[in-house]
Amino acid sequence: MSVTTADSSSAGTASPVASSKSRIGDFVAAKLFFPTFGILLFLAFWQIVAANIVTSLGAFPGPAEVWTQSKNLVVEHQEQRAKAEAFYERQEKRNAARLEKDPDAPVKIRSYTGKPTFFDQIFTSLYTVAFGFVIATAIAVPLGILCGLSESAYQAINLIIQVFKPVSPLAWLPLVTMVVSAMYVSDSPMFEKSFLNSGLTVALCCLWPTLINTTVGVAGVDRDLVNVSRVIKLGSITHVRKVVLPSSVPLIFTGLRLSLATGWMVLIAAEMLAQNPGLGKFIWDEFQNGSSNSLGRIMAAVITIGLLGFALDQLMLRLQRWLSWDKQAVVR
Amino acid sequence: MSSARYLEISKMGKTFPTDTGGFEALRDVQLTIQQGEFISLIGHSGCGKSTVLNIVAGLEQASVGGVILEGKHINEPGPDRAVVFQHHALMPWLTVYENVELAVAQVFRGSKSAAEMREWILHNLNLVGMGHAADKAPHEISGGMKQRVGIARCLAMEPKVVLMDEPFGALDALTRAKLQDSVMAIQAELKNTIIMITHDVDEAVLLSDRIVMMTTGPAATIGEIVEVKLPRPRDRLALAEDQQYNHCRHQVLEFLYSSDDDNSEELEPSATIESVQTAVDVSTDDTVIKNSSNQAA
């Protein structure tokens, strides 16, 4: 066995085996032990505090109660799915029987109208936020590039950005609702109005972080690189594609991640306030419902919202790593 | 040397706007450059050398006067006045080949086929000895190699004038000497017209036909011009003992050190360069130094 190792940090004193062991040990400590320890501490704290808070709906749910309610939510979902399947099966049989008697009989196919389950609401929230986020990105990135490239465009838009940026989503909601009701009139609408209301409110709040960060990123492209582009006389589209965009990817993504996080928070609030389908409505319904299980179910929803928000951010990180030219960059 | 007035810098002045009314950086800069001439601009930091170069490049506009290239007034940047930047300015997200391609694809659009462009890009990379690294990313190659690629990108545009802004300033002495030799060889072959900014007196004497020395600003202008009539090709080792070479060096040093004593420390002390030069010439292409006279000293 060789004494020299690739690991120069543990210089000389440790043997190769010991040093690789200690590296694994460091990794376990950093990635497993401390997070687990933190979570356990938090759960213990939560349990103790929860037991001491009594509300009109019973004791505040501790971790165990939330876990039970989470399992109930899964069971309810499965029951609803089974019911739906049974419904479609019955309908199919009925129609088949009717056609057998008379091939010309009118066949009616109805969709199942059960109560949306917790998981249906999650799905609704996810694609609503995606809709709003995509719209915001499609506007904010090109506009940000324009503002970053042209000082006059920036001066023209800057004040508007500064004024609208701090506006709460809930202030937009009534306006969006009224505008959608008035403008979106169709016999066979592609989207539900409530979906548009939530989605557009999310978009209005998602715009700003992406817009501002893209502007800063584009304006901050290295002077030398811009001069190279000027000497070569690159056309503006090539200039943006080959010089500006690769250089501002990190800041654009910082903006996108901030936007998505904002959008996700805004969405829950909008759904609660406007009774639009989604996780926000789930929470509000449980709150109005007032059963002894409600608080546990709301807490389960709260944790779900947190986990999904985290997952969305991780998704953006992956996307950034995939799109960025600089694979060495530490992205966190 | 077909045209005696190939590039003309004519009564050029530059004033930068400031809160207190404006800072006059350059005044009445007047210089005529022949085709195929190698000109060095030398002077203290902040004397406006870079501003002169940027105005010739078209990256900045003169406040008064201007630059005329082959009878045409210059008011915007263009590939006919390609620039080699001090810090290479390669796009880090493009490979060596793609960096040169970015320029070639734009400059020769419509006049070269895809195959011709490819050949031209590789030809220029080979010219600076970087053909082997065509598919490498800039972060994978050394500082000297990056600067070689920067030179290849510049030459690939077939510029009328090559502008170099302290091209070797950020490199170590050994790498610098090698690049200087490469530039001399390339210029001997292609007969480029070159304007180079430098802080290095030896570099200026070794490479230039004329050394343009600028006075210290504000309102900097051309103080003196030293003509270097040494025959080419020039050999740095032989020149170290050459009387004319040392005379030129002395003229430049005298001008620089007498014009301002405060700023003189940024100029390269020549002794170390000389001893390194000896070492470089003994070692061939690899960086192993077989005979370093500076260690004996």
| Residue of chain A minimizing CA distance to B165 | A224
| pLDDT at residue A331 in the model | 66
The answer on B256 and B109 residing in a single domain is: no
What CA–CA distance (Å, rounded) separates B273 from B169? 13
Question: Could you tell me if B15 and B23 are in contact, meaning their C-beta atoms sit under 8 angstroms apart?
Answer: yes
Domain boundary among B134, B158, B182: B158
Instruction: Specify if B184 maps to a domain.
Output: yes
To 5 degrees, how large is the angle CA B95–CA B96–CA B99? 85
pLDDT of residue A40: 93
CB count in 10 Å sphere of residue A45: 10
Verify that B32 and B125 share a domain, yes or no. no
- Residue B110 tokens read as 């419509």
Q: What type of residue is A18?
A: A
- CA B261 to chain CA centroid, nearest Å: 25
**Is residue B195, in this structure, part of any structural domain at all?**
yes
Work out the pLDDT band at B283, boundaries 50, 70, 90.
very low
**Is A234–B102 a contact, with Cβ atoms under 8 angstroms apart?**
yes
CB count, 10 Å around CB of A55? 10
**For residue B34, what pLDDT is reported?**
93
Statement to judge: residues B72 and B192 lie in one domain: yes
Kindly determine whether residue A326 and residue B92, on different chains, have CB atoms separated by under 8 Å.
Answer: yes
| A141 three-state secondary structure | helix
Q: Quote the mean pLDDT of chain B.
A: 85
Of B89, B107, B139, the CB nearest to A225: B89
Say whether both B107 and B29 belong to one domain. no
Q: Can you give the residue range of the structural domain that contains B191?
A: 7-79+160-263
Per-residue pLDDT band at B3 (split at 50, 70, 90): low
Query: Which of B58, B91, B139 is opposite residue A225, by nearest beta carbon?
Result: B91
Residue B160 pLDDT: 93
Residues B33 and B59 occupy one common structural domain: yes
Shortest distance, CA A323 to any CA of chain B (angstroms):
11
* One-character DSSP codes across A128-162: HHHHHHHHHHHHHHHHHHHHHH-HHHHHHHHHHHH
Name chain A contacts of B78, Cβ cutoff 8 Å. Answer: 231, 233
Q: 């070479």: which residue's tokens?
A: B245
Tokens of A101: 């008697």
Residue B268 clears pLDDT 70, i.e. is over it: no
B67 and B11, same domain (yes or no):
yes
Whether A275 and A238 have beta carbons less than 8 Å apart is answered as: no
CB contact (8 A) between residue B94 and residue A222 = no
Domain count, chain B: 2
d(CA B30, CA A294): 85
Whether residue B181 is contained in a domain is answered as: yes
Q: CATH number of the domain that B69 lies in?
A: 3.40.50.300
Phi, psi dihedrals of residue B249, rounded to the nearest 5°: -55, -45
Using the Cβ of A246 and the Cβ atoms of chain B, whether some distance falls under 8 Å is answered with yes
| Region B112-137 average pLDDT | 94
**One domain for residues B23 and B144:** no
Residues in chain B closer than 8 A to A328 (CB atoms):
139
Q: State pLDDT tens for residues B196-249.
A: 999 899 999 999 999 999 998 788 899 899 999 898 889 888 888 899 999 999
| A134 inside 8 A of chain B by CB | no
Residue of B83, B87, B91 to mutate, testing the A interface (most A Cβ within 10 Å of its Cβ):
B91
CATH architecture of A118-323: Orthogonal Bundle (1.10)
What residues of chain B lie within 8 A of the CB of A235, using their CB? 106
Q: How confident is the model at residue B295 (pLDDT cuts 50, 70, 90)?
A: very low
Residue B93 lies in a domain: yes
Task: Specify if B70 maps to a domain.
Answer: yes
Selected residue with higher pLDDT from A312 and B258: A312
Last residue of a domain, one of B158, B193, B222: B158
In a shared domain, residues B137 and B167 = no
CA dihedral (B5, B11, B16, B17) positive or negative: negative
Sort out which chain B residues have CB atoms less than 8 A from A232's CB and list them: 79, 102-103, 106-107, 157
State how far residue A225 is from chain B, nearest Cα, in angstroms.
Answer: 6
Determine the Cα–Cα distance for residues A45 and B44; give it in Å rounded to an integer.
67
The complex's ipTM works out to: 0.82
Q: Note the pTM of the prediction, 2 decimals.
A: 0.79
The answer as to whether B293 is a domain residue is no
CA dihedral A82, A87, A88, A91 (to 10 degrees): 160
With an 8 Å Cβ cutoff, are A225 and B139 in contact? Answer: no
Peptide bond into A116 cis (omega under 30): no
Residues B109 and B233 reside in one and the same domain:
no
Q: Is residue B213 part of a domain?
A: yes
- Mean pLDDT for B266-280 is 45
pLDDT band, residue B171 (cuts 50/70/90): confident
Q: What is the pLDDT of residues B82-97, one digit of tens each?
A: 999 999 899 999 999 9
* Residue B215 and residue B115 share a domain: no
Q: What is the CA radius of gyration of chain A?
A: 27
DSSP H helical ranges for chain B: 49-57, 96-107, 114-127, 143-156, 173-190, 201-207, 236-239, 243-259, 270-282, 293-296
**What's the DSSP call for residue A165?**
T
Residues B219 and B254 placed together within one structural domain of the fold = yes
- Is the predicted pLDDT of residue B265 greater than 60, yes or no? no
Per-residue pLDDT of chain A (332 residues; tens, 9 = 90+): 344 444 444 444 445 555 666 777 777 777 788 889 999 999 999 999 988 888 887 888 989 889 999 999 999 898 988 888 888 888 888 888 888 887 777 777 788 877 888 898 999 999 999 999 999 999 999 999 999 999 999 999 999 999 988 888 788 888 998 998 888 877 777 788 888 999 999 999 999 999 999 999 999 999 999 999 999 999 999 999 999 999 999 999 999 999 999 999 999 999 988 888 899 999 999 988 878 888 899 999 999 999 999 999 999 999 998 888 877 676 66
B281: in domain: no
Instruction: Tell whether A309 is within 8 A of chain B (Cβ).
Output: no
**Tokens 């060789």, residue located:** A2
Question: Are B207 and B232 contained in the same domain?
Answer: yes
Across residues B44-61, what is the average pLDDT?
91
Q: How confident is the model at residue B53 (pLDDT cuts 50, 70, 90)?
A: very high
